[in-house]
Amino acid sequence: MSAYTAEQINAAMTAPVEMVTGPRTAKLIAKARIAAPIAAAEAAKERKHRIAAEKREEREQRKLDRIAKKAQKADKANKRKTKVVKPMTVVANAAAKAAKTRRKSLVAKKKVAAAQKKAHNAFKKELKTTRRNLMIGWKEQARSQKEVDRAVALIFKSDEKRKKKAAKAAKAAKKLAKEEAAAAKKAAKVATPKRAKLTDEQKLLNKAKRAYETEKNRRAKWEREFQAKFNGMVSIQYQPWSEEPELEDGFVC
């Protein structure tokens, strides 16, 4: 709620409530699904009734044709010179007229049914051809897309291999340059001469020199402390080191 301002909260609280008046979409879909088989059953029932009515009309037509033929035969057998209209002739003419009308109606219905069947067959054939062409087009498109994907993958793979090879070559060149630089530095470095091996006398002399320096430092420290304590009453002078130092104060190397 912290993301909304007070005006937005008040507007949301005072907004009018919209009432749903029509049916939900799911209900409409369910109604359509329920009505589909019912409509199909009704159509099948209507077709059955229509076929039965057509058969019944054909039977009635055949019956009227037989009556008309019988009336025509009776009229020919009982033909007279007088022009008196017999009741049988009127019935035969009416039956013939009704039969002709029914025959025309049946012929027209058959023509319409044949035309509809022909159109339906043509539509099915066209639909089959269209579906076949679409399937061929989809297969060709999928094949071409697959080839394009394979080519792109090959390009990326070759590019990656080329980059790896270049990185490996750069690494090898860097390593070689580093080795060459190290070798050049090593070659340019001045060789340090080897220290000569000391003899026993030289070792003893060095040891005496170190002992002399240590003792001199110890005495200098003692002198500083003594002068600090007694205000510089005594001052001791020391001679520098020589190869053959003089022995003083009983100091023995």
Instruction: Please choose, from the candidates 94, 216, 62, the residue with its C-alpha nearest in 3D space to the C-alpha of residue 224.
Output: 216
Q: What's the confidence (pLDDT) of residue 207?
A: 92
Instruction: Please choose, from the candidates 247, 173, 167, 171, the residue with its C-alpha nearest in 3D space to the C-alpha of residue 215.
Output: 247
Residues of the chain with confidence (pLDDT) below 50: 1, 81-86, 247, 249-253
* Residue keyed to tokens 């269209």: 130
CA 204, 209, 212, 213 torsion: positive or negative? negative
Q: What's the confidence (pLDDT) of residue 213?
A: 93
Question: How far is the CA of 4 from the CAs of 1, 13, 15, in angstroms?
Answer: 6, 13, 16
Q: What's the confidence (pLDDT) of residue 237?
A: 57
Q: What's the confidence (pLDDT) of residue 182?
A: 86
Q: What's the confidence (pLDDT) of residue 241?
A: 56
Considering the entire predicted model, what is its pTM? 0.27
Decide: 42 and 73 in contact? Cβ < 8 Å.
Answer: no
Q: Which 8-state DSSP code applies to residue 3?
A: T
Name residues whose C-beta falls within 8 Å of residue 251's C-beta, 6 or more positions apart in sequence: 215
pLDDT tens, position by position, 100-144: 788 888 888 888 888 888 888 888 888 888 888 889 988 888 888
End-to-end CA distance of the chain: 95
Distance CA 169, CA 175 (A): 10
Decide: 195 and 203 in contact? Cβ < 8 Å.
Answer: no
Q: Where are the domains of the chain?
A: 24-172, 201-235
DSSP, collapsed to helix, strand or coil, labels residue 237 as coil
Name residues whose C-beta falls within 8 Å of residue 91's C-beta, 6 or more positions apart in sequence: 67, 71
Question: How far is the CA of 197 from the CAs of 32, 64, 194, 202, in angstroms?
Answer: 113, 152, 9, 10
